[in-house]
Amino acid sequence: MTKLRICAALALAGSLGLAHADSLPEVHEGLWQIDMQSIDNPGNKKSTVSYKLCRDHAYDKAGQALAKNIKGCGPLNATYGGGNMSSEMRCTVGGTVIESKGTGTYSTTASHTETHATYTPAFYGNTDEVMTQDQKYLGSCPAGMQPGDRMLPDGTIQHRRS
């Protein structure tokens, strides 16, 4: 994945509320199931990603700090309360303007978010993307996993780079 694609992914993450997650309740520390689906247009191209993530409050705060400091990005609107959130964000990454709107529900043990982003001009041939993400707390992290480590569906553990 190129640096530009990573920046775009972070811009989408920011629209999901990560950039202002200090307004949300802290989630349980431990192992989380993450399921994401994206639909890219034109072409209605679907892709899915699933993995388990070991997380703690320090890991979450580091992710929030990263999302807050994405150069060229800024929130347009964000509201949180009563287990619901909505957010709008605008970023300029490599000459492409990314406008995203996200909504979601959250608790300390689960979240569901939906984000729609448009790219002007098209980004890697995509004019827009819809991303859905579900997260669910599973319990304690298994032995050998540290915060930031991922477990792939086949059981392979990817250790976080320090």
pLDDT band at residue 57 under the 50/70/90 scheme = very high
Residue 68 lies in a domain: yes
Residue 155 lies in a domain: no
Residue 82 lies in a domain: yes
Residue 76 lies in a domain: yes
What is the rounded distance in angstroms from the CA atom of residue 89 to the CA atom of residue 14?
Answer: 7
> Comparing 54 with 123, which gets the higher pLDDT?
54
Q: How many distinct structural domains can be found in the chain?
A: 1
pLDDT band at residue 22 under the 50/70/90 scheme = low
Structure tokens at 71: 């150069």
| Mean pLDDT, rounded, for 102-124 | 93
Residue 156 lies in a domain: no
Task: Pick the closest to residue 9 from 57, 43, 47, 52 (CA basis).
Answer: 47
pLDDT at position 50 = 94
Structure tokens at 111: 């979240």
| Mean pLDDT, rounded, for 125-146 | 95
What is the rounded distance in angstroms from the CA atom of residue 115 to the CA atom of residue 51?
Answer: 19
Q: What are phi and psi of 57, to 5 degrees?
A: -65, -35
